[in-house]
Amino acid sequence: MADQPFPIAGSLDVTPPRVREQMTVGEWLHAWVVTVDHKRLGILYIVYAIFFLLVAGAEALAVRIQLARPDNHFLTADVYDRMFTMHGTTMVFLVGMPILFGFGNYLVPIMIGARDMAFPRLNAFSFWLTAFGGLLLYYSFIGGYGLYGMGNAPDVMWLAYAPLTEKAFSPGHTMDYWALSLILSGFGTLGTAINIIATALSMRCRGMTLFRMPLFVWLMLVTSALTLITITPLTAAQIMLVIDRYLGGHFFDTQAGGSAMIWLHFFWIFGHPEVYVLVLPAFGMANEIIPVFSRKAIFGYPAMAAASIGIAFVSTGVWAHHMFTVGMTSVGNTFFVLSTMVVGIPTGIKIFNWLATLWGGKIQFRPPMLFCLAFLFQFLIAGLTGIMLSVAPWNWQLHNSYFVIAHFHYVLVGAIVFCIFAGIYYWYPKAIGRMLDETLAKWHFWLFLIGFHVTFDTMHFAGFLGMPRSIYTYEADRGWGTLNMIVSIGGFIQAIAVLIFAYNLIHSYFRGRIAGNDPWDAWTLEWSTPSPPPVYNFATDPVVHSRRPLWDLKHPEDPDWKYE
């Protein structure tokens, strides 16, 4: 860093952090409920998602205990179905989406030098819609049987293939709660996506041209644009399901000429791009963290932005690769095999750019960087098994086997969850003002890494040996017993790691080292504000001249804008 006081007096905000007034608990809660501040809403999203992460993790553990031994009866078959359905639905809709949009909420305005989102009240409305959707889904544990008087929950897998979800096959109210909850949280997501697009396009501070925006903002912009055309087909399909269940419609009623296939198409038109909606913000975090801890500017910024748009574009045309085993024409199969393989090109560009950023850098192995490095290797493997599964004949062999489960958990956990952990370690000091404990962080990292590989590497082999997904139990002579025991042990190692992480979040909130404005010596605008930032973010509107405004401030003798 250059030898001068930082931030340079008068150039950026130097307001001291707010003094926390003496409030009663009621006033404090009220302030959080009525808030329209993007930072508070971002934190609410993330806390909400971490809560459901623990819930859905517990559900996964129940599933793993059931499958650890052959002929096991730890859970009844009914409860087992509910557990893995709720695990999947919760992880995708109540953990993945809210946590990533929470990061978007917190970071997008502050990274582009704005004081809030474009529509702060819409922002709060979207959060409470999403939160209410989550509560509605979990209320089905209590209200699922309606007046029958017993608890229940959806038990149709997270993809809820029709006509299993129709009234005739899913009596009671569990599917109603499921559909209504997803419609509601879908509208919440749509509102947030619109808000992020409007913020990124219309709220940028002076000098923040599109090609100077931090890549995280770029990725959130692309994700939100993709969300507009991704989450809405699901909403439409859910409305059809509700029409069928409540008004006696026949959309998915095969008895009256309706089609089960059309649900498959509608669901996967949503379901496949959804993976990219989840993974693109995770890429965005890696884009911010890897350069800072390599002490180099990101390699190939325009290529990164272009590759993100490419991924979003291609991802809308690959959905039927989830349906090879349903039976399609050879033309259909060929199209979806090729379009799926094309995704590998922009993704490969990204991986090479990250490697090139690391290359020759002065790498610092701090907790955020550790998680990002693990992400790089795991995402590569996840991509390679994805290419394997995109080959239709291979897919016919392994679809609906544990190989597929292993593949998508490699993406969702190995890539996305690792990036989310990296993001929390990286931005927690900014949001809270204190550093997370580094020793606990390293325990968390290594245990989670080991647990992850014990679980999901082994799952691939169970899949090769023919173990189908979603089965309640299996006979001892199938030869899957040892593998499943190993998978379950890995699950518990991950659970211990996550508990260490949760403890660290609470412990460091009270005892962590004071972070200061810029603990990582980073380059984007959020690090120029105090930690935590004041409500208005910036006392004076910042002006930027390059992709790394703080580098320019710290190194006036060698600013970036001379080279861009």
Q: Which is closer to another protein, CB of 114 or CB of 483?
A: 114
Q: 457: which 2 tokens?
A: 């590497």
User: What is the distance between the alpha carbons of residues 145 and 306, in angstroms, rounded to a whole number?
Assistant: 49
Nearer to another protein, 228 or 338 (CB): 228
Q: Supply the minimum distance, in Å, between the C-beta of residue 175 and another protein.
A: 18
CA 479 and chain centroid, separation: 35
3-state DSSP assignment of residue 136: helix
Nearest to 103 by CA among 428, 513, 376: 428
Q: Tokens representing 484?
A: 């499943």
Smaller CB separation from another protein, 335 or 492: 335
| Shortest Å, Cβ 253 to another protein | 8
How many beta carbons lie within 10 A of that of residue 325, not counting itself?
A: 13
Nearer to another protein, 4 or 364 (CB): 4
DSSP state of 468: B
Q: Between 115 and 250, whose beta carbon lies closer to another protein?
A: 250
Minimum CB separation of residue 119 from another protein in Å reads 7
Nearer to another protein, 16 or 257 (CB): 257
Helix, strand counts (H, E) of the chain: 18, 0
Strand partners, 543: 206
Query: Where do contacts with another protein occur on this chain (CB under 8 A)?
Result: 4, 8-9, 118-119, 190, 193-195, 197-199, 201-204, 206-207, 224-225, 228-233, 235-237, 239-240, 243-244, 247-251, 256-259, 262, 266, 269, 545, 552, 556-557, 559, 561
Q: CA 468: distance to chain centroid?
A: 26
Nearer Cβ to another protein, position 198 or 465? 198
Choice between 249 and 344, CB closer to another protein? 249
Q: Which is nearer to another protein, 192 or 401 (CB)?
A: 192
DSSP string, 385-419: HHHHHHSHHHHHHHTTBHHHHHHHHIIIIIIIIHH
To the nearest whole angstrom, how small is the minimum distance from the Cβ of residue 127 to another protein? 17
- HSE-CB at 514 with a 13 A cutoff on CA atoms is 4
CA distance 41 to 34: 10
Identify which of residues 245 and 350 has a Cβ nearer to another protein in the complex.
245
- DSSP class per residue in 49-68: HHHHHHHHHHHHHHHHHHHH
* 89-90-96-98 Cα dihedral, nearest 10 degrees: 120
Helix 418-432 with 438-464: angle, nearest 10 deg: 160
Task: Kindly list the distances between the CA atom of residue 365 and the CA atoms of 50, 199, 442, 534, in Å, as whole numbers in the listed order.
Answer: 25, 34, 10, 30
Residue among 323 and 419 whose Cβ is closer to another protein = 323
For another protein, the closer of residues 197 and 459 by Cβ is: 197
CB of 130 to another protein, least distance (A): 16
Smallest distance, Å, CB 495 to another protein? 37
Q: Rounded to the nearest whole angstrom, what is the least distance from the CB of residue 199 to another protein in the complex?
A: 8
Smallest distance, Å, CB 188 to another protein? Answer: 13
DSSP state string for 298-318 = PS-HHHHHHHHHHHHHHHTT-
Supply the minimum distance, in Å, between the C-beta of residue 466 and another protein: 35
Partners of 514 in the β-ladder: 434
CB of 482 to another protein, least distance (A): 45
The nearer residue to another protein, 347 or 528, going by C-beta atoms, is 528
Residues in the chain: 564
H-helix segments, 11-170: 25-33, 38-68, 77-89, 97-111, 120-143
In angstroms, what is the minimal distance from the CB of 206 to another protein? 5
Q: What phi and psi, each to the nearest 5 degrees, are found at residue 88? A: -65, -50
Alpha-carbon distance 502 to 444, whole Å?
10
Shortest Å distance, C-beta 187 to another protein: 10
CA gap 533, 536 in Å, rounded: 8
CA distance 526 to 556: 19
Q: Minimal CA–CA distance to 189: which of 316, 384, 302, 45?
A: 45
Instruction: Give me the least distance between CB of 522 and another protein, in Å please.
Output: 19
Under 8 Å between Cβ of 223 and 96: no
* 88, two tokens: 């999947």
Residue whose CB is less far from another protein, 197 or 323: 197
Tell me the closest approach of the beta carbon of residue 550 to another protein, in angstroms. Answer: 13
